[in-house]
Amino acid sequence: MEKIPVAADDHIFVLTGAGISAESGLPTFRGSDGLWAGYRIEDVCTPEAWRRDPAGVWAFYSARREAAQKVRPNAAHVALAELESLIKGRFFLCTQNVDDLHERAGSAALLHMHGELAKSRCERECGRPPVEDRNVYRSLDEVGRCPCGGRLRPHIVFFGEMPLEMDRIQDEIAKATLMLVVGTSGSVYPAASFVHWARQRGERTVYVGPEQPLNADAFTHVFEGKAGEILPGLFEVEIASRR
Ligand code: OAD
């Protein structure tokens, strides 16, 4: 298999999606056995759904928490953590995933642009930061309140809400010389645009996943296969000489 050379002055920006956690046993969203085949986005992942039926939204995310707590990072998560350790300071990982498998594999320069399953925050956006919360709620009565009185909601970016830390993401893409995208169908924006931003800057753009994403044309390299099989050994890292 072709290898991607990483020079001593390369900066890598990585975007991951649900596909990287598939080999750990977590379902993706789209496709015949994906989460969105069993649930309607409008019922569980929009501000309107939260206003109309907070119990239903919590039931969905409680089930996601339960599933995420049962699985472990796979070879793809580990390969990215190892790559980061080889080129510390020149690596940034942005994930659309809300599970914590990247951090459990050892990734450190990491941003969850769609939120985190293991956190909750005030529904009133009162300014208090998200709190760690791994509870699996069986009913709405069990869900806590913020000191301001607002109900806690999942720390998840619902459809129609702004992804988190877009300024930082743009800065990191501007620094990068190589963009690696893993396991995302390219159907949700703005994440699906990142590769176009990188191409406009002339960056190399690499995709890894078993099928072509919707934005496949914007990649300079597409590796078709499972992330856990392709990522370990994909990069040839030039180690800076220490003189
Ligand atoms: P999708 O379900 O849209 O796409 C998952 C991708 O992973 C598909 O392209 C699969 O081909 C690929 N895939 C499957 N198995 C894989 C494997 N072993 N290795 C690598 N790739 C594999 O999920 P996302 O693109 O992540 O947003 O979805 C984006 C956003 O839509 C999510 O963050 C979520 C969802 O609705 C929110 O909840 C806000």
Looking up tokens 């119990």 gives 55
For the segment 74-133, what is each residue's pLDDT rounded down to a tens digit?
999 999 999 999 999 999 999 999 999 999 999 999 999 999 999 999 999 999 999 999
Residue 216 in contact with residue 222, Cβ under 8 Å? yes
How many angstroms separate the CA atoms of 85 and 191, rounded? 25
If one residue of 50, 184, 211 were mutated to test the ligand 1 pocket, choosing by the most ligand atoms within 8 A of its CB, it would be 184
Q: List, chain by chain if needed, residues with CB within 6 Å of any ligand 1 atom.
A: 17-20, 22-23, 28-30, 34, 45, 96, 114, 157, 182-185, 187-188, 209-211, 213, 226-227
pLDDT in tens, 189-241: 999 999 999 999 999 999 999 999 999 999 999 999 999 999 999 999 997 66
Distance from Cα 95 to the centre of ligand 1, integer Å? 11
pLDDT at residue 235, as a whole number: 97
**Model pLDDT for residues 145-185, shown as the tens digit of each residue:** 999 999 999 999 999 999 999 999 999 999 999 999 999 99
114 catalytic residue (yes or no)? yes
Residue identifier of the C-alpha nearest atom 8 of ligand 1: 185
Decide: helix, strand or coil at residue 15.
strand
End-to-end CA distance of the chain: 33
Closest to 115 in 3D by CA, of 161, 52, 73: 161
Distance 152 CA to ligand 1 centre (A): 27
Angstrom distance (rounded) from CA 195 to CA 40:
28
pLDDT at 243: 54
Please tell me the distance from the alpha carbon of residue 236 to that of residue 98, in angstroms, as a whole number: 29
Of 77, 112, 114, 155, catalytic: 114
Residue 242 has pLDDT above 80, yes or no: no
Atom of ligand 1 nearest to the CA of 213: 9
Of all protein residues, the one whose alpha carbon is nearest to atom 9 of ligand 1 is 185
What is the predicted pLDDT for the residue at 240? Answer: 66
Give me the pLDDT at residue 31, please.
82
CA of 183 to the centre of ligand 1 (A): 6
**How many Å lie between the centroid of ligand 1 and the Cα of residue 34?**
9
Phi first, then psi, for residue 126 (nearest 5°) are -75, -5
Structure tokens at 93: 């990982």
